[in-house]
Amino acid sequence: MAQQEIDAALITCNVNLLYTCGQILDGYLYLPLQAPAQLFVRRPNTLTGERIHALRKPEEIPALLHELGMPQPHKLMLEGGELSYAEYTRLAACFPQSETINGTPLLHQIRSVKTEMEIALFRRSGIAHAKAYQQIPSVYKEGMTDRQFSIEIERLMRLEGCLGIFRTFGKNMEIFMGSILTGDNAAVPSPFDFALGGEGTDPSLPIGANGSKLQKGQSVMVDMGGNFYGYMSDMSRVYSIGQLPDEAYAAHQICLDVQQAVVDAARPGVVCEELYALAIEQVSKAGWADRFMGIGQQAKFIGHGIGLEINEAPVLAPRSKLSLKPGMVFALEPKIVLPHIGPVGIENSWVVTDTGVERLTPGEEQIIDLTQVR
């Protein structure tokens, strides 16, 4: 803020309040550069403290600041990339003498590098995530649909402590907990910027399981978001209904090889687009480029930052000039879709260390036959 000559920030979006205050509330955090922060709260009305103030509407904030002996800011940072136009203009109008700027890029830059406390929560989340996945074979029953299978896995996740809500950053990005994809549904494109799509069960949520029956000779990809402590771990594993064709195991191994190549190359200072190019080079040499990250509509990334939301920085994609830094956390998800069979591949969450990366989501990475595990 000092480098950009910002006098104060006004924070009101849920994830940024969680990041700065440690909880979600209906109100505003006023964060001045040269004075202690002040919290103006509408709900809940049980919060008390020296710098916590009740209010009914944001128009009261300037007068409350005056009572506290605090000057009006010359330059005020608002969450322009997250607020609606109406909310942004309303807040800006509360400070008519102030220049207002969009602070969302700065907030995302700050949030992209995690603290030791945040990384510890990711580690705990990864363990709980993997524990739920270990139990997946126990809930499979012959004749299930992908939707029925998804419901049972969602239950496993909730029993391990998953909060259920799947927060994403980006216009119109919506999904419920995650997706289960099998057969040709994995190739159905989605309007959302996820690695794979799926038709969904209703046009109001066109993503993921569509009611397809789990059939012998097909793969099933489980991609559930692991929000256990507010931080979104990401993890995909592949299962099969009986034996798959040989090409499925070969394609899956290519994805594991891509993961290993990217992991070996990832370290502080490496530019994100270089890791993407490395993955594409490996897949192209192996002859799978036309089915990598989808068929027809292919996702143009192999990994994305995770934190309080999915799709934070960094993004492993072409033209992404951002360099990795220690403390960044991202999901790496090389995946291949096979017509009539389904998806194969892998997704794990990783934290950038001083010398490389550390995996946060443990567990088996090979394809598990659901008909053979009891």
Domains in the chain, start-ordered, CATH in brackets?
A: 8-111 (3.40.350.10), 116-369 (3.90.230.10)
In this predicted structure, what is the pLDDT of residue 170?
Answer: 76
For residue 198, give the H/E element and its range. none
Pairing of the two strands 303-306 and 232-240? unpaired
> At 88, is the secondary structure helix, strand, or coil?
helix
**116-173 per-position pLDDT tens digit:** 999 999 999 999 999 999 999 999 999 999 999 999 999 999 999 999 998 988 777 8
Taking the C-alpha atoms of residue 227 and residue 94, their distance in angstroms, rounded to an integer, is 35
In this predicted structure, what is the pLDDT of residue 138?
Answer: 96
> At 134, is the secondary structure helix, strand, or coil?
helix
In this predicted structure, what is the pLDDT of residue 374?
Answer: 61
DSSP string for residues in 330-370: EEE--EEEETTTEEEE-BEEEEE-SSSEEE-S-S--S-EET
pLDDT beneath 50: ranges in the chain: none
200 to each of 175, 186, 204, 368, how far by Cα in Å?
10, 10, 9, 24
Spell out the residues 6+ positions from residue 231 whose beta carbon is closer than 8 angstroms to its own: 118, 121, 122, 125, 306, 307, 308
HSE toward the beta carbon, residue 117, CA cutoff 13 A:
5
In this predicted structure, what is the pLDDT of residue 173?
Answer: 84
Spell out the residues 6+ positions from residue 81 whose beta carbon is closer than 8 angstroms to its own: 102, 104, 105, 108
